[in-house]
Amino acid sequence: MDNQYDVIILGGGIASMTAAIYTAQANLKTVILEKSICGGLVNTTFKVTNFPSKTEISGQELMEQVRDQVEALGVDIREVIEVDSISLKGDLKVAQTDEGNFSAPVMILATGRKPKALPIGAECEQIHYCAICDGSAYKGKRVLVVGGGNSGVEESQYLLSSGVAHITLIEQMGRLFASKQSQAELRSHGNKVDVHLNTLVEAILTKDGKLTQVQLKNTETDTVTKLNIDGIFIYMGHDPQNGLFSEAVSLTPQGYINAGAHMETNIPGVFAAGDIVHKKYRQITTAMHDGTIAALSSADYIRKIQHKI
Ligand SMILES: Cc1cc2nc3c(=O)[nH]c(=O)nc-3n(C[C@H](O)[C@H](O)[C@H](O)COP(=O)(O)OP(=O)(O)OC[C@H]3O[C@@H](n4cnc5c(N)ncnc54)[C@H](O)[C@@H]3O)c2cc1C
């Protein structure tokens, strides 16, 4: 027997939790299916300084407050749940999970994005994507940061502030793309930071499965260097997390959901919200905007199918 709801929300980031506040307040029985813990990418943001009403707040604290609000409204929050597959055909949308099947007339897709991995396919325990989550293991150590955008430069500063001894930051293009202010702040750390432009990771060298060195290549000069390094933090952009619905839902060539003005997808009863949607600006507030509209559209859809309007 399926667990029956009015609305299933796939993913538990800020887009999802905003949608859940609205669906719960519309008296729709709502479940959030989150493969990790609620909060998504915002959990990994050290300082959020652009959220209205909060001059400065840690991303984790902000997400805990939102999660508490969602839980208090009676939303069923299922974390660390594995969604094996989803079926979007027919009147009932179904999620097959390791906790059984969940079904509802509406599903909101809010699965966000995940960081891109190194294209050389290397993985080891010392490769990370989140300085806040994993940076504390590198106090007094040497770290390579890959990516010269805002994320790479700002997370480098976070790593230095949490005690990392030295950072080598590499960028594959000929300049950094972070804001001028972030670049200036990073350079103020003097000889604790080396920046290499036009540089790629060519190989990861390990001993007994543990990272020992990286091999870097300067693509302008073809020079290859090896660096002793304790950890690597990667900030090379993100890929949409669309694996569960890439066949069924209309996506852009880059893999983002084509959603309409009411966050509807090509499938009746399936809505989308947040970073997984094709759009120009991906921020907490824009994810909240999408979540709000997806939830209100869901309520409208359910009203219509109930009254067969
Ligand atoms: C480094 C960095 C710093 C940022 N700083 C800011 C900032 O200061 N201010 C700001 O406004 N924005 C910031 N952003 C952008 C902001 O974090 C995103 O726009 C926002 O998190 C999008 O929310 P979301 O809910 O759409 O996606 P996410 O936060 O990515 O949440 C998606 C959730 O879905 C879950 N999920 C994915 N696939 C599945 C699945 N198959 N089954 C179950 N669950 C699944 C994921 O685990 C995740 O929890 C930052 C982004 C980054 C990368």
| 21-47 residue pLDDT tens | 999 999 999 999 999 999 999 998 888
**Contact 156 CB / ligand 1 (< 6 Å):** no
CA-nearest residue for atom 14, ligand 1, is 283
Q: Is the CB of 13 under 6 A from ligand 1?
A: yes
Q: Is the CB of 10 under 6 A from ligand 1?
A: yes
Mean pLDDT over the full length of the chain: 96
Would you state the pLDDT for residue 133? 85
For residue 170, what is the DSSP state?
E
ipTM tops 0.90: yes
Q: Count CB neighbours of 50 within 10 A.
A: 11
The pLDDT confidence band at residue 132, using thresholds 50, 70 and 90, is confident
Is residue 214 within 8 Å of residue 206, measured between CB atoms? no
Q: 86-131, pLDDT tens digit by residue?
A: 999 999 999 999 999 999 999 999 999 999 999 988 778 999 999 9
- For residue 187, what pLDDT is reported? 93
Sequence-distant (≥ 6) Cβ neighbours of residue 12 within 8 angstroms? 32, 33, 34, 36, 37, 38, 39, 40, 77, 79, 110
* pLDDT bracket for residue 2 (50, 70, 90): confident
Q: What is the pLDDT of residue 309?
A: 52
Ligand 1 atom 52: residue of nearest CA: 41
42 lines ligand 1 (CB under 6 A): yes
Q: How far is the CA of 216 from the centre of ligand 1 (A)?
A: 30
Give the C-alpha separation, 246 to 269, whole Å: 17
38-52, 190-204, 239-253: least confident range = 38-52
Question: 172 C-alpha to center of ligand 1: Å?
Answer: 25
Task: Give the dihedral sign, CA 273/110/177/166.
Answer: positive
Q: Can you tell me which atom of ligand 1 is nearest the CA of 113?
A: 30
Q: Decide: helix, strand or coil at residue 305.
A: helix
Average pLDDT of the residues in 133-156 = 95
- Output DSSP code: residue 133: H
What pLDDT shows up at residue 123? 79
Q: Whose CA is nearest to atom 49 of ligand 1?
A: 40
Q: Does any ligand 1 atom lie closer than 6 A to the CB of residue 11?
A: yes
Domains defined for the chain, CATH in brackets? 3-114+238-307 (3.50.50.60), 127-234 (3.50.50.60)
For 260-293, write each residue's pLDDT tens digit.
Answer: 999 999 999 999 999 999 999 999 999 999 999 9
Do residues 155 and 131 touch, judged by C-beta distance below 8 A? yes
Q: Using a pLDDT cut of 70, give the percent of the chain over it.
A: 99
Is 90 exceeded by the pLDDT of residue 67? yes
Whether 62 shows a pLDDT value over 70: the answer reads yes
For residue 36, give every residue at least 6 positions away whose Cβ sits within 8 Å of its Cβ, in sequence order, or none: 12, 79, 80
Evaluate if residue 236 carries a pLDDT over 80. Answer: yes
Ligand 1 pocket mutation, candidates 34, 35, 42, criterion most atoms within 8 A of CB: 42
pLDDT of residue 74: 98
Whether the CB of 284 sits within 6 Å of ligand 1: yes
The answer on pLDDT for 48 being more than 70 is yes
Query: Is the pLDDT assigned to residue 308 strictly greater than 80?
Result: no
Helix, strand, or coil (residue 132): helix
**264 Cβ inside 6 Å of ligand 1:** no
Of ligand 1's listed atoms, the one at least distance from the Cα of 16 is: 25
| CA 124 to centroid of ligand 1, rounded, Å | 24
Q: Does 40 contact ligand 1 (Cβ within 6 A)?
A: yes
Residue 166 pLDDT level (bands cut at 50, 70, 90): very high
Q: What is the pLDDT, as a whole number, of residue 105? A: 98
Q: Which residue has the tokens 């073809």?
A: 222
CA dist., res. 68 & res. 73, Å (int): 9
d(CA 216, CA 204): 9
